[in-house]
Chains A and B, each alone.
Chain A
Amino acid sequence: EPEVTQTPSHQVTQMGQEVILRCVPISNHLYFYWYRQILGQKVEFLVSFYNNEISEKSEIFDDQFSVERPDGSNFTLKIRSTKLEDSAMYFCASSVRQGVGYTFGSGTRLTVV
């Protein structure tokens, strides 16, 4: 069964550093998403991406964040100048149609120290 692959599974970074979280969506999917889950809290939507541009973003997704599909297979989330409160599990997802049939990756646990 096709999978969404996320790397790394766990990343530790120092406050103020930039991190890039990587995702390989399912190959025939057209819509890509990032969600995050702060420990003990709800899963929260960050951003959706289609046709090489952001189609929707939440209030969380401010100028500190950016997404990119650099090579037609990878989908990345960049967090600039990380803060302690950015520590969370970040999930990538993809779908064939928008908003339906999400497949999630296993997540990247980001720890900012």
Chain B
Amino acid sequence: AQSVAQPEDQVNVAEGNPLTVKCTYSVSGNPYLFWYVQYPNRGLQFLLKYITGDNLVKGSYGFEAEFNKSQTSFHLKKPSALVSDSALYFCAVRDVNSYQLIWGAGTKLIIKP
């Protein structure tokens, strides 16, 4: 069965430090991978996606993610965290047999000043 795992419920980072939010996936075939962010009382905002091409994908708000096929990972990264990056981050993969998104449980990112 296809699945997405976000092993950390919460990640704490000091402002200005680099951040990483982890995501691993399990799919048969080539994955379509996504990161979304959810701010309090807001919807799911698209950050970036990997479909094909370069393994390093750049997205909104200075975020990037690296697709690693051998480790089946798609970790979200940012070189220098901002307090405003504090939010809930979701990794998702598109089901290869359909078009629905399969979601991770989410990781709460807290950036401290």
Contacts and interface: CB of A to CB of B under 8 A. Distances in A.
Interface stretch (A11-19, A62-70, A77-85, A104-112): A104-112
Interface in B75-113: 90, 92, 94, 98-106
A44 B95 CA distance: 12
Contacts of A103: 46
Nearest to B105: A42
Nearest to B44: A104
B103 A42 contact: yes
B100 A43 contact: no
Contacts of B51: 100
A69 to B, nearest CB: 18
A56 B100 contact: yes
A interface, by DSSP: helix, strand, loop or mixed? strand
B53 interface: no
Given A42-B106, A91-B43, A104-B43, A48 B99 contact: yes
A99 B32 contact: yes
Interface in A34-92: 35, 41-45, 48, 55-56, 58, 91
A99 to B, nearest CB: 3
A35 B103 CA distance: 11
Interface centre among B32, B44, B98 (most CB of A within 10 A): B44
A102 B34 CA distance: 10
28 contacts: A4-B43, A35-B101, A42-B105, A43-B44, A43-B92, A43-B101, A43-B103, A45-B102, A48-B99, A48-B100, A55-B99, A56-B99, A56-B100, A93-B44, A98-B99, A99-B101, A100-B32, A100-B49, A100-B51, A102-B34, A102-B101, A104-B43, A104-B44, A104-B46, A105-B43, A106-B42, A107-B43, A107-B44
Interface of A: 4, 6, 31, 33, 35, 41-45, 48, 55-56, 58, 91, 93, 98-107
Pairs of residues from A and B, 8 with the lowest C-beta to C-beta distance, nearest first? A99-B99, A106-B43, A45-B100, A104-B44, A43-B103, A104-B43, A98-B99, A42-B103
